[in-house]
A and B are shown apart, each in its own frame.
Chain A
Amino acid sequence: MENYIIEMNNIRKEFPGIVANDDITLKLRKGEIHALLGENGAGKSTLMSVLFGLYVPEKGEIRKNGEVVKISNPNDANDLGIGMVHQHFKLVEVFTVLENIILGAEPTKYGFLTTKETRQKVLELSEKFNLKVDIDAKIEDISVGMQQRVEILKMLYRENEILIFDEPTAVLTPQEIDELIKIMKNLIIEGKSILFISHKLNEIMAVCDRVTVLRKGKYIGTVDVSKTNIDELSKMMVGRKIDSIKKTPAKKSDEIVLDVRNLTVSSKLHKNNAVNNVSFQVNAGEILCIAGIEGNGQSELIYGITGLEKITSGQIVLNGKDVTKASIRERNLNGMSHIPEDRHKFGLVLDFNLAQNLALKKYFQEGYHNHGFINFDKIHEHSEALIKQYDIRSGKGSDTIARSMSGGNQQKAIIAREIDCESKLLVAVQPTRGLDVGAIENIHKMIIQERDAHKAVLLISLELEEVLDLSDRILVMFNGQIVAELNPKKTTPQEIGLYMVGAKVQEKFTGSRGGQ
């Protein structure tokens, strides 16, 4: 008999109308890294919520070390030594690292906080597991990677032995991911067991021992990572073979759609300019991708181009017309579509229904209103057409409140709206962030279709894979400036990485530096 530290046997969890977990079995061996693989909506979160005591399953049992246990709330889970690092960290921003670690289990003496021994304990833990943290720094001042280490320390401080990592790499840079993998391997050596939730296959291949795959609420199988490969896993996860993107060669023309000249945008975070003297052009029929590590001015660059933020100096020419001072609507009407970085903050009015959201850039146009009175039939018709064309799925069709839609479909709605504007330029900022494989594939296809329809696409992406897959030309941005122009066919991730961290600058861009 094998020694399982946690067994979840035949778990079934229903919500009215759907079965989120249908007869799922997950067995975690002691001292292994076990991946839970599945697309968004496959039932991973539900299963983990069952393990964490947030949901009570209709059927099935949970065993720890072979004994049946009942977990009816998160405290039970904690008592059993189950801890979780959530995808969105649950830390108090204005507290220090130490305060966050002891939060909820504060050591007190006569009602007063005593942190001396705890500090020692946390320092020891951090040393033992090689988790570098600045124990007295406030959470808001430390990097995302360090915040994650704080979450891990929190679990260790509570002496949890089963650690759940919920999509831990989604927020990290490549370097931080390597660091995290080291940490996880270290934890295993120290006798912990890890459940690793992810849909990134190469990470699973790199770090895990075994992997359990879920699809649409069903258990597909458990395999040894050493006996499988990425293709096989992706087939298990999606249920079909994923086509690698078939990209026809770009039919780049000489027609310049967007011409950015010496653009400078000031930063809201620091005194220096976020974007410093950046110039580039996007031609019709090409996908120009701007790569770079988050926070190197990409967002501000887009804000400047799309008009969300005022620029300090420079010129923006769109379709031969100077739009430097134009309003956002003028830019839109002059042929600029924009898939924003943050779909909840900018892309959608979450409390509006789908039809209203799809009409956000149309409602003022001819046919959509009659002397200022909205033509609801037209808006509905427009919405139904887009829903059909772009396969936007939702509970109540046009009447669905945007907030209740899944992330993938929210993004589809935004893309449908933007492409429907038939603009000459499509600005897409991280269009696939947080989406599952199927949705990403879909969106990539749409973007390539746009390019093939002789549109110009300006793509901002943090994912190198996406950059290399989609782009016809790559610009790398570092510290507010363009440092390299690369051909995706002739470059490697490693080379891009060097430019991204500022270790290298192409000669033709060195001239513009020094303005800082």
Chain B
Amino acid sequence: MMALFKKNSTAELKTIKELSDKKVTIISSVSSIFVGLLFGLVILFIIEIIKEYSDFTNPFYGFVNLMTSGISSIGNILKLLYKAAPLMMTGLAIGFAFKAGLFNIGATGQYTVGAFFALIAAILWQFPWWAALIVAMITGALWGFIPGLFKAIFNINEVITTIMLNWTALFFVNLLFYNNPGIYLTPERTTALASANPSAILPDLGLKVALNSSYVNIGIFIAILFAILIYIIMEKTTFGFEIKACGHNKNASVYAGIKAKRTIIYTMLISGALAGVGGGIQFLSGTVQYTVSNTTLMPMGFNGIPVALLAFSNPIGIIFSSLFISFLQVGGENMQPIYSSEMVNVILAVIIYFSAFSLILSQFIRKRLNMRSIDLEIAANRLETPLEENIPPKEEPVEPVIEKSSKKEVEK
């Protein structure tokens, strides 16, 4: 048994060494998710232990629910996609900024502003859905532009400005809603789009009826399109090249003539636009209404952080990581008969937290792995020519004096 294990582990070690960079990325993401899930299960058990009447089948039941219900029915799958769309957008927003070396923690603020203006455009101005989405994009971009400007001109840390702007956005939006009595029905919620302006609801291509779900719309396709667009910008264009250069080494980019300040501003502009579209997709779905008395920041923008981290900010990876997080969210809702919604949120938070945390761990391991291979590569590169070629050819005179003295040394 031990021998078998040993054999396996050396084989594994060998495969790890041979892994390409991309594979390491995927493996570390998947393994970190696994660690997160495991911790989720542990938490479920701990909850059970401290209960008055422990039933140790509950954690398993809850966990199975969490892990299966996301794909257990067409309805749930549609809900998953519906939830994933805005999450994908905020994930893209944060990932895009990460690539330029910026931490846009203000995605939630840009999302809120985008949502607000999408609703204003839809309800007050009676815009069609696509025009309302564009309004959301532009306003989100402007909200991202502010911290970008401050960072570029005054070198004020974007984390600080975006956090402040998150709260500014929230209360600014609430205030403006209160001042527009035309667009909310009750003191709490904005008017349902179905009655206010049906043309502003994202199209469902007739699938709402066909699939018998109110959660169907083209939001997920819009989000995936954006992900592909961002991928192309990042990997194929000179602009993406400049962004990555700034993200990796700002000094070298400036030296090479890249206008780093302009790149920072554009990056934040685009990042904000993505988050704004996310807000638009969520609130133009026709299934949510904005709660005007809201005094907590919307979690969508923050959930974008683990989405981006899990995917190493790769836009295509963000498609999958946002689907995964939504999968957990849908699964969590189905744990509810046994576990309260607060408890479910705790479980989800633990899973997401540990996913991101163990991600850092795996990044560290990866770095170690890389560093080792880089060390070897450096060593190999330094010895630029194979040794055989360097054996002194006969015509090369090694001084007789030297030979003598070195021989003496050996004899002694």
Contacts and interface: CB of A to CB of B under 8 A. Distances in A.
Given A20-B379, A41-B382, A361-B257, A224 B387 contact: no
A299 interface: no
Interface string A215-246: 11111111110011000100110011000000
B295 interface: no
B166 to A, nearest CB: 31
A428 to B, nearest CB: 14
Contact of B239 (A235, A345, A352, A372): A372
Given A223-B401, A236-B399, A332-B257, A404 B374 contact: yes
A405 B381 contact: yes
A20 B238 contact: no
B238 A363 contact: yes
A17 B249 contact: no
B400 to A, nearest CB: 11
Interface residues of B, number: 43
A346 interface: yes
Given A20-B383, A217-B387, A349 B253 contact: yes
A18 B252 contact: no
Contact of B383 (A16, A41, A350): A41
Interface in A11-30: 15-20, 22, 25, 27
Contact of A347 (B252, B259, B377, B409): B252
Contact of B256 (A20, A27, A360, A395): A360
A340 B385 CA distance: 28
B346 interface: no
Contacts of A20: 379, 383
Interface in B361-412: 374, 376-385, 387, 390, 392, 396, 398-399, 401-403, 405-406, 409-410, 412
A40 B252 CA distance: 25
Q: Is the interface of A mostly helix, strand, loop or mixed?
A: mixed
B254 to A, nearest CB: 7
Contact of A216 (B251, B383, B401, B410): B383
A46 B320 CA distance: 45
Contacts of A395: 377, 380-381
Contacts of B22: none
A394 B381 contact: yes
B409 A224 contact: no
A393 B315 CA distance: 33
Interface string A323-338: 0000111001000001
Contacts of A380: none
A338 B255 contact: yes
Contacts of A364: 238
Contact of A393 (B381, B387, B409): B381
Given A328-B255, A372-B238, A18 B406 contact: no
Contact of A404 (B239, B381, B406): B381
Contacts of B412: 1-2
Given A239-B392, A349-B253, A27 B409 contact: yes
A352 B245 contact: yes
Contact of A232 (B374, B385, B399, B405): B399
A374 B237 contact: yes
A15 B241 contact: no
B104 to A, nearest CB: 21
Contacts of A329: 257-259
Contacts of A332: 257
Nearest to B392: A239
Nearest to B236: A373
Given A349-B252, A372-B237, A15 B379 contact: yes
A1 B408 CA distance: 11
B7 interface: no
B23 interface: no
Given A221-B403, A236-B399, A17 B254 contact: no
B208 interface: no
Nearest to B259: A327
A351 interface: yes
A16 B248 CA distance: 30
A222 B396 CA distance: 17
A261 interface: no
A64 interface: no
A385 interface: no
B20 to A, nearest CB: 12
A25 B410 contact: yes
9 contacts: A17-B380, A215-B390, A216-B385, A218-B387, A221-B399, A360-B245, A374-B237, A401-B374, A403-B374
The 9 closest A-B pairs by CB, nearest first: A329-B257, A41-B382, A221-B402, A360-B256, A346-B255, A404-B377, A221-B406, A328-B257, A404-B374
